[in-house]
Structure 1
Amino acid sequence: MTVLSTENLQQMGDELFDALKTCRSIEPLIARYPDMDIDAAYAVQQHLMQRRLESGERVVGKKIGVTSRAVMDLLGVMQPDFGWLTDRMVYNEGESIRADNLIQPKAEGEIAFLLKKTLMGPGITREDVIDATDGVMACFEIVDSRIRDWKISIVDTVADNASCGVFVLGERLVDPREVDLLTCGMVLEKNGEIVATGAGAAAMGHPAEAVAWLANTLGARGVALEAGEVVLSGSLGTMVPVAAGDALRVTIGGIGGCSVRFA
């Protein structure tokens, strides 16, 4: 088994950072290191995020990736992962996103949680998440991969900050106790046509369960979900490719909608 040095891990993080800044893709990391494991991938992610923070970005939340069966089947990645959200990833409702600032973007309809209390695992439950949540919102996560042609393994997407691109939050904040997060239906429209549907249960059985998983997984690494942060709880349907000229809207029953355009 290849033992990856700190220098190896940092080099991969630097490559991903440079790919992000120059808007280009690189070959899969797993092709270079076939026995690279998830712990090594998270070490690469940590270095990548260190580079982003040193460049002036600020953490505003976290995201859960690969939560729905539809996305697992599409990518061939069969377990969830997590990444970090920064202030440079945020777009406002209805705001136009320049497609040429991304490499190979795809849109996901999700439920975002705005936290009013800090959550630190282990032992966080779905009920703890609901109690700690100020409100939920419909949102788009625009995932993007710095790995060429989306040919990713779990270690590639983990290293690449869970393939996070940018995200857009809806304007309506809803008390999570006032909506059935399990059965709420999601409809994603692209240029006026329905291209994806789903429900809250697609996110690891329940969106708050997904957030609890994240709190406990991060807690094992000594990291909390902080009060005031946004948590993206995972796609409720398949990923939808987007390009310049596309207009998308996601609507989630009981929560509201979110719109985005690509220029």
Structure 2
Amino acid sequence: MRHLLLAAAASLALLPQARAACPSAEAMQALSRSILANTPSSPLTGMTSLADGQCAQDQLVQILVPHFGQPVGYKVGLTNAAAQQRFGVAHPVTGTIYQNTIRLRSGGETPARFGAVPNVEADMLVRVSSEAINDARDHLAVLRSIDLVIPFIEMPDLVLASGMDGPNLLAINVGARLGVVGEPIPVQVTEDFAARLASMTVVLSSDQREIARAPGTALLGHPLNVIPWLAQDLAQRGQRMRVGQYISLGGFSPAVPAEAGRTYTVRYEGLLAQPVNVTVRTN
């Protein structure tokens, strides 16, 4: 019994340190002010784990909801090995997307300086149609649980002037801010549709100049592989995907800084009979 009491006391002694690593409410308010002012921020200090970054994110999302709208789903970041290596994280990370993230439609216009560190990224959305998605582990099971695949230009705000690491990426909500939504594509629950998602080529261009291209397999080997990973990540925090939510699957290629006076286009080749585009103009 004495040994048990000593062990319990030792565990309790560690709790203040663990809690202290989660940034304070004051620190998160200061970060939110920088985000809303479109001013780059210094990185948060004192975080020792991704759990601390998640704790910071939970605070930040609640602060920004009155400004960016209610949460409408999730985004998954670091869905390729190169991005994971850059941030020193061995797996993807999850953020929350807002109503503003999916507000702008293809062909729309937005200020280039929409954020503190504004970027443009080739992405893709899916819409959840069944809560069976939380238990889906193969491609056809995922397809049965979504009803739309949506071309999507994500416009993340990377917020920090320097010092980005895994905990800080989570703390800034994986950069979720704006996005541009293309024409939704009804899902086909077939092996062929799943194969086309993997074999398609996703091209990001600026004023007709190609910036980057990547295969569908750039996202965890297959875009639909993102969903089971997200389901398990959410389950560890007692959360589930819900019907009607949108999931941002991640960047097919690295994000690029947003520049004024550009028309950015993401083109999906090989998904349908004709290429599918989504565009946005920056001013």
CA separation of 1:107 and 1:8: change in aligned 2, threshold 3 A: closer
Residue aligning to 2:266 = 250
CA separation of 1:119 and 1:44: change in aligned 2, threshold 3 A: farther
| 184-193 or 169-178, larger mean C-alpha shift | 169-178
| 5-14 or 51-60, larger mean C-alpha shift | 5-14
Alignment partners' CA distance in 2, 1:56 and 1:244: 22
Gaps of 5+ in 1: none
Amino acid across the alignment from 1:79: H
Largest Rg, 1 or 2: 2
Residue aligning to 2:130 = 117
Look up the SS of the partner of 1:99 in the other structure. coil
Work out whether residues 12 and 44 of structure 1, in 8 Å CA contact, stay in contact via their aligned partners in 2: no
| 166-175 or 182-191, larger mean C-alpha shift | 166-175
Residue aligning to 2:6 = none
Q: Which 4+ stretches in 1 moved above 6 angstroms?
A: none
Shift in Å at residue 144 of structure 1? 1.3
Work out whether residues 9 and 40 of structure 1, in 8 Å CA contact, stay in contact via their aligned partners in 2: no
Gaps of 5+ in 2: 1-13
CA separation of 1:126 and 1:106: change in aligned 2, threshold 3 A: farther
Aligned length: 258
| 168-177 or 200-209, larger mean C-alpha shift | 168-177
Shift in Å at residue 104 of structure 1? 1.7
Alignment partners' CA distance in 1, 2:132 and 2:61: 21
- Please tell me the root mean square deviation across aligned C-alpha atoms, in Å: 2.2
Look up the SS of the partner of 2:279 in the other structure. strand
Work out whether residues 119 and 226 of structure 1, in 8 Å CA contact, stay in contact via their aligned partners in 2: no
Match status 1:9 vs 2:24: yes
Residue aligning to 1:19 = 34
Shift in Å at residue 156 of structure 1? 0.5
Shift in Å at residue 143 of structure 1? 1.6
Match status 1:152 vs 2:194: no
Amino acid across the alignment from 1:38: L
Match status 1:227 vs 2:243: yes
CA separation of 1:81 and 1:171: change in aligned 2, threshold 3 A: same
Residue aligning to 1:237 = 253
CA separation of 1:147 and 1:198: change in aligned 2, threshold 3 A: same
Work out whether residues 22 and 55 of structure 2, in 8 Å CA contact, stay in contact via their aligned partners in 1: no
Shift in Å at residue 248 of structure 1? 0.7
TM-score (norm 1): 0.89
Identity between Structure 1 and Structure 2 (%): 21
Match status 1:259 vs 2:282: no
TM-score (norm 2): 0.83
| 126-135 or 152-161, larger mean C-alpha shift | 126-135
Shift in Å at residue 11 of structure 1? 2.8
Shift in Å at residue 69 of structure 1? 3.2
Residue aligning to 1:86 = 98
CA separation of 1:119 and 1:42: change in aligned 2, threshold 3 A: farther
